[in-house]
Each structure stands twice: as C-alpha cells, then as structure tokens.
Structure 1
C-alpha cells in the first residue's frame, strides 16, 4: 500500500485529516499536531478512536462489537478507516450492487487525496463534496445504513435478521433515498394509527386517529402534552431497527392503546403512501349501505340477525314469505285492521278475551297455546312464552326448543304458518278448519319437507360426499424447507399472538418463532405469522421455502391482488416484498389438523413478549406436537371429496 513510503505517508496523512461530520469529513485530523490528543478530531463511525504508537498515523479506530472497517478479515494497515461495515448476515443475491469493500477496484486516475479513493458506497456512488469529504448517494432502491450518508448503501433484502441487533435500519432513509411509490397503502388493522390518509411519516401525534373508535390519539394521553409533543410525527417514534420506540411514548398512553399500536407495522419510507380507507366495512371499501348505518347508528344486532337467519332458512318459499311478514308485523290481525281503520273491534274473534296481536294469534291464544305446549319441551316453556315478537322469531330460528328431535327451525316455521291458516279457515269457514290433529299434521309436513330436501341435496351434490380423511403434517420435498405458521387469540384480553416452526425435508426442526402481537383482528395475526415466517426463513438463508397456514383467507389475500384500501394492506405489502426476492417460495393452505405444531407455538406466544423471538431449541410446551408430526400421527377430518 502507498502508505509504506514517506511521500505516500504524507499523502495518507493529508488524506485522513478531516473529522467525520454529516458529510463524512473524516480526513482532517492528521492536519492537526500528531499527538495523543489526535482523537479529539477523529470520528470513527461505529467505533472509538484510540491513540496508537504502533499505528503509522498515530491513531486507530477500535470498532464496536458487530462493526468493522472492511468486509474481510481485520487488516492492521487499514485501522485508520472508520467502522461503517456491519458484521452481520449480508446477502447480495437480491441486489445488483457489490458489497462495500475497500478492496474494490479503484479508478486508475483517482488521487489518494480524494476521499472517494478509500470509500466504497455499495449500491450507490461516492460524491466528493470537498477535498477531504464525501457522501454516499444511493441508487434507486438502496438506502444508507443508519440514515447516515457516510455509510454504504444497501437494499433492505440484503440485511439478515441478525442485523437488527446492531440497530441497523435502511427503512429510515436519507435524502438520497428514492421517493415513495405512487401506490397507496392503508394501515394494518382497525385499531391502529394513523387512520385516515396522511403519510405515516408525517402524521402528527395530535391529528392522527385510532381506527377503532375515531378518537384522536391525543385524547388517550394520560399526561399533559406540550405543543412540541403534539406536533411530533410518527417517524420520530421509530428506532433504527424498524421497531416502535416505546420509551419515547409508551408512558403517554394506556396499555390497551399501546397494545393496538404494537400490532401495526411502524412507518417507513419503504412503504407506499397511506390512503383513505372506509372503516365501516371489513375490506375498507365504501358502500352506501354501510354509510347509512354509520350515519343513522341503528342497532342492527337483533333485527338483522333475524333477517340473516331467515335468508339462510331452508323451506318452502311461501313459508319464508310468511315469516318475512311476521318480522315486519304485517299480518292482518284484528289489531292491525283496527289500526288501519278497517274495523272498530281489535279483540280476538276466536277467544274473545284479548287484543288480537300477532303474538296473540300465533302463540298466546287459548286455542293455539296448548298446541305449542305439545311441540315445545317443558323446560323451554318459560322462554318460549315470555319473549317479545322479534326475540321470539329470532330465538326459534336459531335455537332448539322442540321435544320431537326434528329440526326445530322447520317445526317452528311450519307450525306458525299452519296455525295462521287454521285461524283464517275458522274465520272464513274454509276446509283448513277441518284439520283434526294440527300437531301431527305439522310433524308430518316437517318429515315430508325433510325427505324432499334430502333428495334435492343428493341430486345437487351427487358428485361430492363428505368423507373422513386422515390429515397429518407432510414433509416438504427434498431440498425444501417447510414453515408452518398460525395465530392464536385470547378472547378475555383481546390479545393475538403468532408462532411458527421451520423444518427440513427430513423433519428436523431448524428454528421456531413466537411473538405476542397485541390487540388486532385474527386475520391480521395470521398475516403477521406469515410475514415473520418469511423473515425467519430469509435470515436463515433458506432458498426454497414452502410456507403453510391454516387461514384460507390469509392465503387467498397473498396469492391474489389486494385492494390498497384493505385494513391489512401494510402487512400484505411486506409479505409481497419478500416474495419478490430471488428465492423460491410457495404459500399454501393446510387444514388445522396438519398445522398443530404451529398452533402450539402460537398459543405458547400468548405468554411471551411483543418482541419476535427465534428459537433453535424446541420449547417444552411444543415438544409433544413436534413428535406428533415426526411420527406421522394425524387427526380425522370430515372433508368434501
């Protein structure tokens, strides 16, 4: 190296004489007196300057753990260089740019007085800003490490999972990073900020809203917020390792709000810009119906449950129409006729004692109640005869009150219809009044309908029958690694966790992982499990991955185009970024019976922390299911074949 001769030594002395500032001016200290205090002017990046009598330049940079001057073995002749190369897993197969290295071929006409002579910017170009200073201008898709322009440029896919331990992130890119994509994304879940449309990096603490209830975030604050705190943007609450910086805001908000935020991917310039989503639908797409409900705030739980049950009810269409009239209280009873001015008397024409309302006609009249008592089991009489109209209709289509063992929703609907027809026959003196045993007549009609429905089902599904199938975990193909993932939910605390396990084609466990996500939807938990499974696979440098999840909805969202307004689009965006790397990945659905080990990891994660943990040793709580899969033991499932 040129530093071995006096003139070259002077050149090196002048070249390395500026401190590392925002523009990496680390070459100037050697212009100051060569003494023990030379380190006052030296910046070593991720290292510490120490005077050294053994060094040609009277100082050297002692790197922090995990950092080095070059990507190769330690070179004593280069100890004067700053520590800007991470000592972690770096995979450049997804990048066209070479890794940063001082040994990279230099320009033949480059001057050793030029800082760019010594610096390799990786996926970027070195820009000389003065005689002894430079910065790395990253190419499109590359970002400076630690958001410092003195550090080399990498793609995010080049960084292994262990690089996070060094505080490395290329997500918080510098000004040299390319602009965000024109496509838009929404937040990851219904309960996470930001809610409506501003960029995640620019969203302010005071203006962004939690999608859960449209309250602005500052309303959750448990302490007084200064104007400075109110105007801080979300990017200020993120660490260099792309995680939430909990120590900066966790003390400001309740635990349940922190749990909601934990389930959201932190903002990053790598993500597309946020877009407006419609919070009143599960897929984020606007509909007039949902808008009307949101404005009117109608209580849809009980009435709409009845209409949904009626829509799914299997029976004659004329009976369905009759039940529809009952739901709208449209039967022409004497009470309804008097209300419409068609008669002056509203008492029951059969018993002559009470007002003939719909419930009186169909249930409470002394000519009808004994018939119901023969159909309804005595243990349910107090419920059956004590409910209001809508509750009575809904409960009888969703519960089993009968004593005959026949499908009660059919018995109830047919009985109510027959009793109404008998009432009309008595009033208008038709032949329907001649039914001698209404209860047996109802049960006979139920049997006839059941047989007819069975024949129709057999004809419709004649090529498909339910058959018991033994489902078990299957080893992947030779050379592949199978990663099974799952999510688990704790209903009482509304917490969701995820976990998974990676096994090779011989069934050997390579790694397992867990994470307690926080408060989010089960679908978001399933997608988080898939994302973390891919992260673990990438960190293990696995090139052929077969990932299985028992969430068919999550798998379909990944394998098909997704609307940008979907509440989970942020997680899906991260998953699809991984799928674009240079490796082979298949994402398939598997029945839960073949995913029991991942299910055990997910349940185990409910008692773990919110940090992603990767295990090389199988936890005791999961050992049973790992052995269960290794032995080829399966569970029986009824499948349509």
Structure 2
C-alpha cells in the first residue's frame, strides 16, 4: 500500500472523488447507463459523419439525432405525452399503423418505396434492418455506385424530406406522393452540395438523372505552415509526437514527460516544447480539463516544467513536425529504444 501511495504525484488542485466510469472523472446518471449498456449489451454505436455535419443544415443534423433517439414528435410519441390525437394516432401517409418512429421511417409504404428507389439506383437487393439505428450501422456497406459523400448525405436528405412532407399533410392538408418527396430529396442534396462546393460542375439535372455518376471533388485544405523555427539563443526546443495502435493521446503525454526527464538528467533548462496534438497541449496548459487516468503523469509534468523553467508548451502543425512524427510511427513496432544525437553536449 505504501508503494502505491508513494507513486502518486501530488496535484496542485484540491483532492476530490473521481468517477472512473467516465474520462472526465465526473459522475452522472447518463454515464452509469452508458457504462451498463456497454457492459451488458455491447451495443455498437453510430455517430453522424463529420463531413455531413459540415454540409447539411444544423436543423437537419438536430432532426436526425432526434430520429436516432426516437425523440421526434410522431403521433405515437405525442400520445405518450398525453396529447390528444385524432384517428388513434395512425400514420398520416398510409393510415394502416400507429405512427411510431420505426413505422414512419422506414416501414411505412411511403418511406419503403423511397428507400427501395435508393437501393434500386445502387443496383442491389436488400433486407432492411429493424429500425433507423440499425439501418445506419449498415448504411455504408450498402453503397455500390454512388459517391461516398453523397451516400452519407442520402439518409439525412430523404428522411428530412419525408418528415417535412408529413408535416405538410397534417398542417396544410397537402397531398403527398413518393414522386414529390423523391424530387425534394434530390433537390436538397443538390442545394447542400452547391452551397458547400462553390465550383461544383454538376447541375440539378445531373443530380436528378445521373446521381450515381457524380463524383465530388475533395475540398482543397487550407495551407498550413510547414516551417520549423529554431529557438532563440540560450533556449532549447523539443519536438514530440506519440503513436500507438489505438488512442495516441496517452503516448503524447508520455512523450512530453520523457523529454522533461531527459532534460532534467542532462541539466537542460529554458525549454520550449512543441507537440502536434492540440488536445494534449491543452491538458498540459490547463489543469481543469484533464482526464483522470493521466493526472499522475500530468502532475509530474507540472512539477518538471516549473523545475526546468519551461518557457512554453505549444502546438505545432504536423507538417512542421515531420521528424518527430516519423520517429513515433516507426517506433510503434520497435523493440529496442533508438537514441540519436547530433552534436549534442550537456551544458
């Protein structure tokens, strides 16, 4: 027990209880539920693609999140909230079943016909999973012809179009048909793409009649500085990087810690440290957002930074950190440590 206590590096913060079920160390009922579900049911998770978040309108992203969580205001969900609904809450499109989320999307005949049009365009015969969450887990495996990004956007556009048309039927007594919803779905994707890619060479006609032939050009990334700057006279600079088979975050922290231990051993002070991990740099510079599992290492980094008069721990783009990046990746499978010195002598 003494050995375990002795290995703990004192923090400069006030002691507090840590909930180990969450990386933040903070307890929440939702965290307990997520932990229990992951242990008992091992439920696979799906998240909204990053590229779609940047292209589709925010209200569509919000709607889709509610759809996945079964929180959209379907007639069945409204009845659960004790809202009086006519016609026993049956589907406004087919009138055959209660309008639950899973019926409206994708098993209502209206939605089913639209999804079959999508799959027919891909040239596949398919069996629909049970509900939208399971459908999204398999969605990317169903792509055969369409552009990857267009395929990612397709469920967002088609289910949003179905929802808006459903509201038109309820509130404006607007007649609906699969053909009109399909046209709105294609028009929306075309509008989203043209808003995102200003030089898009494809017309609305191309999206309507040659959808599977469209190939979206990747956006040209912003040019980032790829220049490494030497430190001022009298200062030392250490560039670090971390690599692992999984999450590289912990290895980036260890890289900074080992640099500081090396500098202490060789009497190096007035140090500037650069890392291409914005997350790890924020952990080192701000003690309020640190993961509890790495607090011991980060506390030791705090102590060494003060002892060695570390000037700064800064972020640097990966393009300007190529040597550290290469050495970290090549070292993942290296069994023997590699030490390389170029004209270095201890002060």
> Fold conserved (TM > 0.5)?
yes
1:475 matches 2:217: no
How far does residue 361 in structure 1 lie from its aligned partner after superposition?
4.8
State the alpha-carbon separation in 2 of the partners of residues 600 and 615 from structure 1: 14
State which of 306, 309, 323 in structure 2 corresponds to 1:597: 323
1:573 matches 2:322: no
Structure 1 pair 345/563, CA: closer, same or farther in 2 (3 Å)?
closer
Deviates more, 1:425-434 or 1:277-286: 425-434
State the alpha-carbon separation in 2 of the partners of residues 418 and 269 from structure 1: 56
| Higher RCO, Cα 8 Å, sep 6+ | 2
For 2:6, the equivalent position in structure 1 comes to 267
How far does residue 555 in structure 1 lie from its aligned partner after superposition?
1.5
State which of 276, 301, 322 in structure 2 corresponds to 1:550: 276
State the alpha-carbon separation in 1 of the partners of residues 57 and 290 from structure 2: 41
State the alpha-carbon separation in 2 of the partners of residues 322 and 615 from structure 1: 51
State which of 114, 128, 142 in structure 2 corresponds to 1:371: 114
For 2:339, the equivalent position in structure 1 comes to 615
For 1:415, the equivalent position in structure 2 comes to 158
State the alpha-carbon separation in 2 of the partners of residues 283 and 442 from structure 1: 40
**DSSP 3-state at the match of 2:301:** helix
For 1:538, the equivalent position in structure 2 comes to 264
Structure 1 pair 416/476, CA: closer, same or farther in 2 (3 Å)?
same
- How do residues 423-502 of structure 1 correspond to structure 2 at under 5 angstroms? 430-433=173-176, 437-450=180-193, 467-491=222-246
State the alpha-carbon separation in 1 of the partners of residues 9 and 101 from structure 2: 62
For 2:130, the equivalent position in structure 1 comes to 388
State the alpha-carbon separation in 2 of the partners of residues 580 and 369 from structure 1: 64
Deviations 1:45-104 (A, max 9, x none): xxxxxxxxxxxxxxxxxxxxxxxxxxxxxxxxxxxxxxxxxxxxxxxxxxxxxxxxxxxx
For 2:28, the equivalent position in structure 1 comes to 287
- How do residues 212-231 of structure 1 correspond to structure 2 at under 5 angstroms? none
- How do residues 309-328 of structure 1 correspond to structure 2 at under 5 angstroms? 314-315=56-57, 317=59, 320-321=62-63, 324=66, 327-328=69-70
Larger Rg: 1
For 2:345, the equivalent position in structure 1 comes to none
Task: State the TM-score, normalized to the length of structure 2.
Answer: 0.65
State the alpha-carbon separation in 1 of the partners of residues 114 and 316 from structure 2: 50
- Structure 2 segments unaligned to the other structure (5+ residues): 199-219, 343-347
Deviations 1:581-610 (A, max 9, x none): 254533211112222222333234434559
8 Å contact 2:52–2:152 — kept in the other structure?
A: no
State which of 543, 561, 571 in structure 1 corresponds to 2:287: 561
Task: State the TM-score, normalized to the length of structure 1.
Answer: 0.39
Structure 1 pair 581/438, CA: closer, same or farther in 2 (3 Å)?
closer
For 1:121, the equivalent position in structure 2 comes to none
8 Å contact 1:555–1:588 — kept in the other structure?
A: yes
How far does residue 532 in structure 1 lie from its aligned partner after superposition?
0.9
State the alpha-carbon separation in 1 of the partners of residues 289 and 169 from structure 2: 59
**DSSP 3-state at the match of 2:27:** coil
State which of 248, 251, 261 in structure 2 corresponds to 1:525: 251
How far does residue 289 in structure 1 lie from its aligned partner after superposition?
3.0
How far does residue 304 in structure 1 lie from its aligned partner after superposition?
7.2
8 Å contact 2:242–2:251 — kept in the other structure?
A: yes
8 Å contact 1:482–1:548 — kept in the other structure?
A: yes
Structure 1 pair 373/567, CA: closer, same or farther in 2 (3 Å)?
same
8 Å contact 1:327–1:393 — kept in the other structure?
A: no
For 1:234, the equivalent position in structure 2 comes to 3
8 Å contact 1:362–1:420 — kept in the other structure?
A: no
Deviations 1:158-180 (A, max 9, x none): xxxxxxxxxxxxxxxxxxxxxxx
Deviations 1:371-423 (A, max 9, x none): 3343346557445x421103355348878849665744544233234446667
Deviations 1:539-566 (A, max 9, x none): 2222332221112222222222347883
Structure 1 pair 524/275, CA: closer, same or farther in 2 (3 Å)?
farther
Deviations 1:15-60 (A, max 9, x none): xxxxxxxxxxxxxxxxxxxxxxxxxxxxxxxxxxxxxxxxxxxxxx
Deviations 1:168-218 (A, max 9, x none): xxxxxxxxxxxxxxxxxxxxxxxxxxxxxxxxxxx2xxxxxxxxxxxxxxx
State the alpha-carbon separation in 1 of the partners of residues 155 and 89 from structure 2: 29
State the alpha-carbon separation in 2 of the partners of residues 369 and 380 from structure 1: 16
Aligned residues: 311
Deviations 1:480-503 (A, max 9, x none): 322111211024xxxxxxxxxxxx
**DSSP 3-state at the match of 1:279:** coil
State the alpha-carbon separation in 2 of the partners of residues 356 and 376 from structure 1: 24
How far does residue 270 in structure 1 lie from its aligned partner after superposition?
6.7
Deviates more, 1:477-486 or 1:405-414: 405-414
- How do residues 33-52 of structure 1 correspond to structure 2 at under 5 angstroms? none
**DSSP 3-state at the match of 1:601:** helix
State the alpha-carbon separation in 1 of the partners of residues 195 and 157 from structure 2: 15
How far does residue 527 in structure 1 lie from its aligned partner after superposition?
1.4
8 Å contact 2:18–2:26 — kept in the other structure?
A: yes
Structure with the larger strand share:
1
**DSSP 3-state at the match of 1:290:** helix
- Structure 1 segments unaligned to the other structure (5+ residues): 1-202, 204-232, 236-265, 456-464, 492-520, 619-641
